[in-house]
């Protein structure tokens, strides 16, 4: 049983008792506990079930590498699955629920999978669920979905807030252990601005538990002193609970700070994502202990040796009263010595090495602990906790030499540097035979924008595991980083370090070395994803030679812990099975984040109201108050329609069209782009940009123009007004303003940089109000101030003046076919003018109208809309717009492309009007079908609908479409199958349905 | 995350403050160009592994277009320079030669 | 000008959190394009504002306004709102002989002021630019982005920042600043950073 000791636990405050629940049971813990230590203190050894076989699982590790102890934390809007108990700080009222079990953790139906494990080998899903094909949808997929996934997805909207924070630093140090502190100090002493991150809530890393003497101080005292020194330096920022999640190119690093996970009642964001730009990065992320692969190594009570002593020293809990330590290196002895010192019975140290260990072995024997060399664990028995172990020869076949009863096992398979961050952006690795691990290849580091090393490792991340070497490595890493960031590192006195000398470790990838299939099939590599030694061997036999393929086939290292414990063991087994040296097999790719980060942190501030910018015109608020039905147009919101009380949106659209055609309507046209193009070469420039001629436009006149890309495709359209001899105002589509502005600047800056042209984007300087309808002039004249008669302001002219005392520019242009004035007014006065127009227009029946009425009216007139009639493959010639393409101009952007053979092809689809025979509305986007099928077995198509509406003016459906040789086929009837199983029949007609002579707009 | 120095305003601009503009130093082909020449101008690009010349716009800054010479594999930046030029300036090419002896890109070396 | 008073995008909305955020009152803004070395361009800008010509990336304040360097051929001239529209033709006259342009953009923008010791921190939650004292000293003009929209930022002293964005996104930027300044969200960097 696991329990709390009375005289250990440096991180807990026994005077501060707190309460939490696990699977509904109320339990006690202390301030300073993690959820894991508190569960162990309550003898809750069983914490979850494994993914595939639903095996009982206990806590294995003490930190971020923990694969088993994943729980659902919190409830309702604060529920989150897959939270690691070992990194979850306990708080009063914490609620945790175990995962992957039903109906309960103790009695789990899915555990039957464990008895079927022989039939659920690696690749089981790929092999089993293939046939019969018809079973996939109705049988296999529902079954797999039912059993897939750890934890449950939250159902409510997250109640917490999150944020990003950008910062720039000279040196970023990741990891606040002895190495990180040393490196930070060295860099800071050189004058560099230093940011130091530590993922846990305390400084010092492993050193306060592992011991050693630095500069005559116990490690923990040295840590306190160094932290105090760093805190006193103005150029150093220290952050706890902050993880280095990912290292990217050019010194960009994502950091993940957990602010209120441990104090949920506190105000402010829960997590903060740091977006750091560092000149130099030092990763002092330490090393991770490896498990040993022996049968039953997943039984609750079998833990990493380092975790056992962490739990004892930090939180005062131990997994058992009678412990066995199995190790292949000297570090395991530290656990045995500490357990023994705390009064826990250490039955045996099983040292896999024939010759045993170094100084620490002597200490253990002196302390009265029995050490057996050349021995290992053959098998652990027990279901939900350890009961017995069988002792075997390290290199035997597993025959039990002895069986002893115990209730806990501490295992140590050696240490692997946490090289993840080094590897994220291209740092290469070397295999170290002596320590049997990968370490950074310093000759091939991640490089920065200057081509020089950008990431350095410090301490055990670099390979050395002994304290003196760790500190020495960290000092030079810190100094190198400062130098790399442009500072001059000082030489300082090398600290004195006292630590035990160690004997070499012995790589052990399977215990015992010649274990039979039965034992190997119970020797776990990946605890979370249930990958055993036999699975990796099977993959090798089936031809998966690449470690990346083996990973995906067996799912080794693919769980939420990303193989922190399983990686090296797994690829060593693969290498053995393939008969290749380990470095030749290589590692899988390390990818960010180091441990999972919350979705909320990734989103940061971008949620709810500010998920995306919403652009609003000066009249937006007025329209909103009138109940506008909004639609997004780019980032703008435009009113689709403005329904009156009790009116449907469709009815509102019909009313708006009819009222505008019969009386007068107001449209907020402020979103249209307005680009001022000015300079001696402006005319010449616009002639290159537009397909038609703009240089010969007379001042005070307007002209409709088309813009194409260099590919020839129509990209924007709008009315151009010539303001003066050297300046033009170009209107663009709503979505086109920024794009066309950028397009103009691109040509001016990168191609015709000697041309004297300035472009100023004045889109938002002006609100623009379209006053449209037969009574438009009457309404404006009622407000007074300008002569807007046909003589004073003819169609396609503009004039400056005042209306209702407000300075305006009036463009006489029409997109509806009605008498129409577009009034441009400074944005700050846009709403005032709009309100005056509404007020004065009451007697004329003025009503605002929205974008759908606008669309219907333009479609009735056969005017195209960029984005409806065009889709990036349509040239102006396809739309019958040849009249707007100058034949005189030698060149314009897109001209050469439009002369390419397939652009001139008479077989292109071209614009026509479409009118259904029964007056119904064609489905937008529907295809006209022809005879026969194509090579893919699909119906031949000969056209498609690009715009389709019910026209209240004509009382029937009207549409435009692109049809194969359309204009040559007037009167033909085409068939358009709808998705509603109906076939629509429509006749090819002229796209101009209303007032073809333009009599209404020209009055 | 690329961080490039805008040669106009001197700002070290984050990739998210820039907009990309594809390959640099294309020669525009217009009316009169052969089909092949125009096709190449529209569609054919270098796509090198190594030294490359690109166009970027300091879109969230001064709005100016500039060119960047960089390595597509290591992201080493050899230099940025103003866009009003039809070929990579000599000092940039010299710097590349120093870092990547024997480099070639189109007709440059 | 007009019988009708202009209004700002948000009518002077404000919020107090980690810092005080307030929409500034009407502000005259004129974009000047041209070779910044031209005497006429200099005369047009400095004549109106009584400010010095700014060096690259800087903003200079004078008795009647300020001049900000926006790009190698662009200035933003800040003046009284009422002066902006009538000044544009005068400036164009001053620069008539040269290739240079001026345009009134006062209504195209919204402006915010941030006041408080944490102004730099609040803005750094939203912008990738280095807004530390070293990265953006008082008097520097930094054009960058705030979350997803363009913005220009400068500090008039170490605790006061001005932000200019497009008028259409004034609501968005105000909501961003409010979120970044929410109580309890101080980052607490070392003062130097």
What would the pLDDT profile of A236-255 be if each residue is shown by its tens digit? 999 999 999 999 999 999 99
A745–B63 C-beta distance less than 8 A: yes
Residue A362 sits in a domain of what CATH number?
3.50.50.60
| Pick from B11, B12, B64: CB nearest C72 | B64
User: N- to C-terminal Cα distance for chain B?
Assistant: 28
Residue A974 sits in a domain of what CATH number?
2.40.30.110
User: Per DSSP, what are the bridge partners of residue A599?
Assistant: none
Query: Based on the domain organization, do A98 and A144 belong to the same domain?
Result: yes
Minimal C-alpha gap between C142 and chain B (Å):
8
- Which residues in chain A touch residue C184, judged by CB atoms under 8 angstroms apart? 266-269
Between the alpha carbon of residue A489 and those of residues A185, A188, A479, the distances in Å are 11, 9, 5
A427, closest residue in chain B (CA to CA):
B74
Q: Give the pLDDT confidence score for residue A559 in this predicted structure.
A: 86
- Residues A634, A617: Cα–Cα separation, whole Å: 13
A268–C179 C-beta distance less than 8 A: no
CATH 3.30.1360.120 range(s) for chain C read 15-25+108-180
Is A92 within the bounds of a domain?
A: yes
Minimal C-alpha gap between A901 and chain B (Å):
9
* DSSP H helices in A497-556: 517-520, 533-541, 547-554
Return contacts of A350-353, CB within 8 angstroms, 24+ apart. Answer: A350/A324, A350/A325, A350/A326, A350/A375, A350/A376, A350/A377, A350/A391, A351/A327, A351/A375, A352/A326, A352/A327, A352/A328, A352/A376, A352/A394, A352/A506, A352/A508, A352/A511, A353/A328, A353/A394, A353/A503, A353/A505, A353/A506
Q: C60 in helix, strand or coil?
A: strand
Q: Is A887 on the interface with B (CB under 8 A)?
A: no
Query: Based on the domain organization, do A826 and A951 belong to the same domain?
Result: no
Q: In chain B, positions 17-76, which contact chain A (CB-CB < 8 Å)?
A: 19, 21, 28-33, 35, 38, 42, 55, 57, 59, 63-65, 71, 74-76
Q: In chain C, positions 81-120, which contact chain B (CB-CB < 8 Å)?
A: none
Q: Give the pLDDT confidence score for residue A800 in this predicted structure.
A: 98
Do residues A631 and A638 lie in contact, with contact meaning Cβ atoms separated by under 8 Å? yes
C106–A760 C-beta distance less than 8 A: no
Minimal C-alpha gap between B47 and chain A (Å):
20
CATH 3.30.70.1520 range(s) for chain C read 28-107
pTM here is 0.95
Do residues A375 and A396 lie in contact, with contact meaning Cβ atoms separated by under 8 Å? no
Domain C28-107: CATH superfamily, name plus number: Heterotetrameric sarcosine oxidase (3.30.70.1520)
- Residues C136, C138: Cα–Cα separation, whole Å: 7
Query: Based on the domain organization, do A81 and A147 belong to the same domain?
Result: yes
C2–A807 C-beta distance less than 8 A: yes
Cβ density class A376-400: b for 16+ within 10 Å, e for less:
bbbbbebebbbebbbbbbbebebee
Size of interface B-C (CB pairs under 8 A): 39
**pLDDT confidence band for A143 (50 / 70 / 90):** low
- Residues A869, A863: Cα–Cα separation, whole Å: 9
Average pLDDT over residues C52-81: 98
For A826, the token pair is 């400074």
Q: Is A750 on the interface with B (CB under 8 A)?
A: yes
Q: Provide the residue ranges of all domains of chain B, joining segments of one domain with +.
A: 18-25+38-109
Minimal C-alpha gap between C36 and chain B (Å):
13
Is the predicted pLDDT of residue A268 greater than 70, yes or no?
yes
Do residues A325 and A335 lie in contact, with contact meaning Cβ atoms separated by under 8 Å? yes
Do residues A485 and A179 lie in contact, with contact meaning Cβ atoms separated by under 8 Å? no
Query: Based on the domain organization, do A700 and A796 belong to the same domain?
Result: no
Average pLDDT over residues C7-16: 98
For A36, the token pair is 């894991």
* Domain end (from A491, A515, A546): A491
Q: Give the pLDDT confidence score for residue C193 in this predicted structure.
A: 40
Average pLDDT over residues C41-53: 98
Average pLDDT over residues A791-810: 97
- Which residues in chain C touch residue B60, judged by CB atoms under 8 angstroms apart? 143-145, 150
Average pLDDT over residues C136-143: 97
Is A430 within the bounds of a domain?
A: yes
B60–C145 C-beta distance less than 8 A: yes
Q: Which fold has domain B18-25+38-109?
A: Folate-binding fold (3.30.2270)
User: Per DSSP, what are the bridge partners of residue C154?
Assistant: C141, C162
Q: Is the domain defined by C15-25+108-180 classed in CATH 3.30.1360.120?
A: yes
Q: Is C15 on the interface with A (CB under 8 A)?
A: no
Q: What's the mean per-residue pLDDT of chain A?
A: 95
Is the predicted pLDDT of residue A149 greater than 70, yes or no?
no
B9–C71 C-beta distance less than 8 A: yes
Q: Is C122 on the interface with A (CB under 8 A)?
A: no
C125–A614 C-beta distance less than 8 A: no
Residue A748 sits in a domain of what CATH number?
3.30.70.1400
Q: Is A886 on the interface with B (CB under 8 A)?
A: no
Query: Smallest Cα–Cα separation from A817: which of A956, A1003, A941?
Result: A1003
| Pick from B10, B14, B64: CB nearest C57 | B10
Is A147 within the bounds of a domain?
A: yes
- Which residues in chain C touch residue A765, judged by CB atoms under 8 angstroms apart? 103-108
| Pick from B33, B65, B75: CB nearest A250 | B75
| Pick from C69, C71, C150: CB nearest B64 | C71
B74–A451 C-beta distance less than 8 A: yes
Kindly give the pairing relationship between strand A455-457 and strand A271-283. parallel
Is the predicted pLDDT of residue A377 greater than 50, yes or no?
yes
Average pLDDT over residues A314-342: 97
Is A839 within the bounds of a domain?
A: yes
Q: Is C117 on the interface with A (CB under 8 A)?
A: no
For C171, the token pair is 């609501």
Q: Give the pLDDT confidence score for residue A103 in this predicted structure.
A: 77
B75–A896 C-beta distance less than 8 A: no
A617–C103 C-beta distance less than 8 A: no
* Domain end (from A95, A127, A156): A156
Residue A406: left if φ>0, alpha if ψ -120 to 50, beta else—which one?
A: beta
- Which residues in chain C touch residue A193, judged by CB atoms under 8 angstroms apart? 192-193
- Which residues in chain A touch residue B57, judged by CB atoms under 8 angstroms apart? 742, 745-746
Cis peptide before A593 (omega within 30 of 0): yes
**pLDDT confidence band for A455 (50 / 70 / 90):** very high
As a whole-number percent, the residues of chain A with pLDDT over 90 amount to: 89
B63–C129 C-beta distance less than 8 A: no
A250–B2 C-beta distance less than 8 A: yes
Is the predicted pLDDT of residue A144 greater than 80, yes or no?
no
Is A863 within the bounds of a domain?
A: no
Cis peptide before A442 (omega within 30 of 0): no
For A419, the token pair is 């090289």
Is A534 within the bounds of a domain?
A: yes
A827, closest residue in chain C (CA to CA):
C107
Query: Based on the domain organization, do A257 and A109 belong to the same domain?
Result: no
User: Per DSSP, what are the bridge partners of residue A598?
Assistant: none
- Structural domain containing residue A266: 162-287+417-491
Kindly give the pairing relationship between strand A408-412 and strand A402-405. unpaired
B65–A746 C-beta distance less than 8 A: yes
Minimal C-alpha gap between B75 and chain A (Å):
6
For C178, the token pair is 């409010």
Query: Based on the domain organization, do A804 and A943 belong to the same domain?
Result: no
Average pLDDT over residues A739-747: 97
| Pick from A236, A268, A762: CB nearest C103 | A762
Query: Based on the domain organization, do A11 and A127 belong to the same domain?
Result: yes
Is the predicted pLDDT of residue A147 greater than 70, yes or no?
no
- Residues A562, A65: Cα–Cα separation, whole Å: 9
Question: What's the number of domains chain A is made of?
Answer: 7
Going along A827-895, which residue ranges are E strands? 847-848
pLDDT in tens, A91-123: 999 999 998 777 788 887 777 777 767 767 777
Q: Give the pLDDT confidence score for residue C24 in this predicted structure.
A: 98
pLDDT in tens, A611-644: 999 999 999 999 999 999 999 999 999 999 999 9
The secondary structure of A459-488, three-state, reads HHHHCCCCHHHHHHHHHHHHHHHHHHCCCC
As a whole-number percent, the residues of chain A with pLDDT over 70 amount to: 98
* Domain end (from A106, A131, A156): A156
Is the predicted pLDDT of residue C190 greater than 60, yes or no?
no
Q: Give the pLDDT confidence score for residue A145 in this predicted structure.
A: 66
- Which residues in chain A touch residue B2, judged by CB atoms under 8 angstroms apart? 249-250
B76, closest residue in chain A (CA to CA):
A449
Count CB neighbours of A460 within 10 A: 31
**Looking at chain B, which subunits does it touch, using at least 3 CB pairs closer than 8 Å as the criterion?**
A, C
Minimal C-alpha gap between A73 and chain B (Å):
34
B85, closest residue in chain A (CA to CA):
A750
Q: Is A844 on the interface with B (CB under 8 A)?
A: no
Do residues A101 and A51 lie in contact, with contact meaning Cβ atoms separated by under 8 Å? no
Between the alpha carbon of residue C59 and those of residues B63, C67, C76, C135, C150, the distances in Å are 18, 6, 9, 15, 18
- Residues A759, A764: Cα–Cα separation, whole Å: 14
Query: Based on the domain organization, do A60 and A121 belong to the same domain?
Result: yes
Do residues A799 and A793 lie in contact, with contact meaning Cβ atoms separated by under 8 Å? yes
Q: Give the pLDDT confidence score for residue C192 in this predicted structure.
A: 41
The angle formed by the CA atoms of residues A796, A797 and A800, to the nearest 5 degrees, is: 145
Query: Based on the domain organization, do A664 and A801 belong to the same domain?
Result: yes
- Residues B61, C71: Cα–Cα separation, whole Å: 8
B63–C56 C-beta distance less than 8 A: no
**Looking at chain A, which subunits does it touch, using at least 3 CB pairs closer than 8 Å as the criterion?**
B, C
Query: Based on the domain organization, do A10 and A103 belong to the same domain?
Result: yes
């Amino acid at each position: 049983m696991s329990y709390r000791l009375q005289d250990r636990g440096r991180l807990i405050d026994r005077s501060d008792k707190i309460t939490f629940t696990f699977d509904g049971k109320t339990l006690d813990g202390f301030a300073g506990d993690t959820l894991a230590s508190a569960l162990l203190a309550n003898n809750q050894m069983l914490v979850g079930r494994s993914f595939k076989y639903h095996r009982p699982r206990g806590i294995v590790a003490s930190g971020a590498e923990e694969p088993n102890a994943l729980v659902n934390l919190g409830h309702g809007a604060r529920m989150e699955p897959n939270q690691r108990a070992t990194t979850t700080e306990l708080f009063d009222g914490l609620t945790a629920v175990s995962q992957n079990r039903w109906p309960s953790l103790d009695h789990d139906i899915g555990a039957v999978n464990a008895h079927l494990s022989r039939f659920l080998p690696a690749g089981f899903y790929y092999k089993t669920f293939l046939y019969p094909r018809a079973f996939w949808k109705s049988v296999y997929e529902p079954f797999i979905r039912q059993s897939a996934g750890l934890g449950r997805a939250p159902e409510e909207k997250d109640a917490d807030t999150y944020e990003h924070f950008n910062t720039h630093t000279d040196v970023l140090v990741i990891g606040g252990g002895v190495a990180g502190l040393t490196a930070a100090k060295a860099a800071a002493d050189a004058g560099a601005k230093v940011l130091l991150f530590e993922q846990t809530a305390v400084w010092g890393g492993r050193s306060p538990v592992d011991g050693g003497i630095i500069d005559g101080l116990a490690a923990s005292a040295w840590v306190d002193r160094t932290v105090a020194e760093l805190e006193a330096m103005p150029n150093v920022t220290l952050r706890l609970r902050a993880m280095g999640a990912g290292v990217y190119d050019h010194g960009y690093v994502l950091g993940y700070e957990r602010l209120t996970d441990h104090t949920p009642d506190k105000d402010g964001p829960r997590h903060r994502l740091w977006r750091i730009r560092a000149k130099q990065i030092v990763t002092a992320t330490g090393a991770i202990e490896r498990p040993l692969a022996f049968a039953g190594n997943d039984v609750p009570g079998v833990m990493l040796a380092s975790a056992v002593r962490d739990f004892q020293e930090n939180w005062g809990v131990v997994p058992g009263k009678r412990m066995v330590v199995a190790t292949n290196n000297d570090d395991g002895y530290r656990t045995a010595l500490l357990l023994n010192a705390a009064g826990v019975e250490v039955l045996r140290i099983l040292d896999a090495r024939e010759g045993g260990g170094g100084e620490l072995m002597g200490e253990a024997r002196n302390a009265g602990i029995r050490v057996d060399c050349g021995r290992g664990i053959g098998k652990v028995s027990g279901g939900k906790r350890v009961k017995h172990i069988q002792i075997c020869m390290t290199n035997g076949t597993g025959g039990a030499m002895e069986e002893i009863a115990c209730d806990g096992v501490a295992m140590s398979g050696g240490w692997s540097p946490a090289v993840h961050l080094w590897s994220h952006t291209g740092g290469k690795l070397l295999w170290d035979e002596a320590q049997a691990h990968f370490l950074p290849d310093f000759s091939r580091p991640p490089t920065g924008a200057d081509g020089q090393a950008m990431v350095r490792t410090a301490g055990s991340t670099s390979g050395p595991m002994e304290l003196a070497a760790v500190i020495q490595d960290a000092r030079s890493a810190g100094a190198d980083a400062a130098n790399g960031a442009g500072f001059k590192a000082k030489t300082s006195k090398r600290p004195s370090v006292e630590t035990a000398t160690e004997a070499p470790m012995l790589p052990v990838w399977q215990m015992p070395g010649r274990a039979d299939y039965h034992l190997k099939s119970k020797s776990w590599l990946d605890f979370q994803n249930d990958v055993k030694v036999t699975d990796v061997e099977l993959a090798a036999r089936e031809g998966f030679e690449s470690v990346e393929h083996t990973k995906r086939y067996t799912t080794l290292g693919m769980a939420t812990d990303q193989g922190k414990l399983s990686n090296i063991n797994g690829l060593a087994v693969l290498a053995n099975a393939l008969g290749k040296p380990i470095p030749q097999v290589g590692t899988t790719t390390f990818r960010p984040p180091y441990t999972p980060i919350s979705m909320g942190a990734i989103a940061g501030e971008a949620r709810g109201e500010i998920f995306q910018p919403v652009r609003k015109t000066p009249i937006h608020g007025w329209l909103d108050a009138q109940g506008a039905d909004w639609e997004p147009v780019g980032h703008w919101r435009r009113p689709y329609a403005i329904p009156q009380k009790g009116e449907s949106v469709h009815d509102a659209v019909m009313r708006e069209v009819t009222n505008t055609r019969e009386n007068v309507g107001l449209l907020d046209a402020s979103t249209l782009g307005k680009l001022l193009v000015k300079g001696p070469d402006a005319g010449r420039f616009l002639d290159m940009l537009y397909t038609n001629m703009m240089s010969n436009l007379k001042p005070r006149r307007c002209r409709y123009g088309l813009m194409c890309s260099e590919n020839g495709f129509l990209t924007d359209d709008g009315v151009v007004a010539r303001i003066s001899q050297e300046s033009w105002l170009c209107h663009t589509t709503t979505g086109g303003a920024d794009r066309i502005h950028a397009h103009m600047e691109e040509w001016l800056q990168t191609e015709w940089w000697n041309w004297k042209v300035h472009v100023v984007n004045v889109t938002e300087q002006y609100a623009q109000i379209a006053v449209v309808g037969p009574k438009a002039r009457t309404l404006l004249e009622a407000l007074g101030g300008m002569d807007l008669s046909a003589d004073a302001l003819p169609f396609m002219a503009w004039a400056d003046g005042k209306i209702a005392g407000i300075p305006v520019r009036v463009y006489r242009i029409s997109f509806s076919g009605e008498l129409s004035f577009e009034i441009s007014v400074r944005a700050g006065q846009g709403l005032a003018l709009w309100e005056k127009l509404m007020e004065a227009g009451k007697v004329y029946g003025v009503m605002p109208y929205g974008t759908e009425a606008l669309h219907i009216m333009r479609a009735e007139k056969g005017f195209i809309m960029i984005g409806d009639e065009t889709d990036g493959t349509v040239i102006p010639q396809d739309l019958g717009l040849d009249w707007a393409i100058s034949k005189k101009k030698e060149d314009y952007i897109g001209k050469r492309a439009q002369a390419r053979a397939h652009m001139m092809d008479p077989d292109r689809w071209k614009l026509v009007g479409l009118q259904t025979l029964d007056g119904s509305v064609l489905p937008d986007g529907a295809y006209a079908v022809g005879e026969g099928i194509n090579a893919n077995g699909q119906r031949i198509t000969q056209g498609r609908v690009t715009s389709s509406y019910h026209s209240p003016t004509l009382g029937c459906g009207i549409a435009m479409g692109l049809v194969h040789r359309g204009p040559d086929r007037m009167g033909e009837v085409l068939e358009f199958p709808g998705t509603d199983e109906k076939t629509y029949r429509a006749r090819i007609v002229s796209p101009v349905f209303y007032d073809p002579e333009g009599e209404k707009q020209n009055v | 995350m690329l961080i490039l120095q805008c040669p106009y305003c001197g700002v070290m601009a984050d990739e998210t403050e820039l907009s990309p503009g594809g390959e640099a130093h294309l020669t525009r082909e217009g009316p009169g160009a052969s089909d092949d020449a125009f096709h190449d101008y529209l569609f054919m690009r270098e796509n090198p592994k190594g030294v490359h010349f690109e166009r970027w716009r300091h879109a969230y800054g001064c709005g100016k277009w500039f060119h960047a010479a960089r390595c597509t594999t290591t992201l080493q930046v050899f230099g940025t320079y103003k866009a009003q030029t039809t070929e990579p300036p000599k000092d940039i090419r010299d710097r590349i030669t120093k870092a990547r002896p024997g480099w070639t890109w189109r007709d440059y070396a | 000008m007009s019988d009708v008073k202009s209004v700002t995008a948000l009518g002077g909305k404000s919020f107090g959190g980690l810092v005080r955020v307030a929409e500034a009152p009407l502000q005259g803004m004129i974009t000047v394009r041209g070779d910044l070395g031209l005497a006429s361009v200099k005369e047009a800008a400095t004549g109106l504002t009584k400010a010095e010509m700014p060096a690259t990336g800087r903003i200079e304040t004078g008795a009647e306004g300020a001049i900000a360097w926006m790009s190698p051929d662009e200035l933003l001239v800040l003046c009284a709102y009422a002066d902006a529209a009538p000044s544009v033709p005068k400036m164009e006259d001053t620069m008539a002989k040269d290739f240079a342009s001026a345009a009134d953009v006062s209504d195209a923008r919204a402006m915010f002021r941030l006041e408080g010791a944490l102004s730099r921190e609040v803005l750094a939650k939203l912008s990738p630019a280095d807004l530390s004292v070293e990265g953006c000293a008082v008097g520097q003009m930094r054009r960058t982005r705030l979350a997803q929209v363009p913005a220009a930022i400068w500090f008039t002293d170490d605790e006061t920042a001005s932000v200019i964005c497009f008028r259409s996104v004034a609501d968005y930027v105000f909501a961003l600043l409010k979120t970044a300044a929410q109580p309890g969200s101080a980052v607490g960097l070392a003062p130097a950073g």
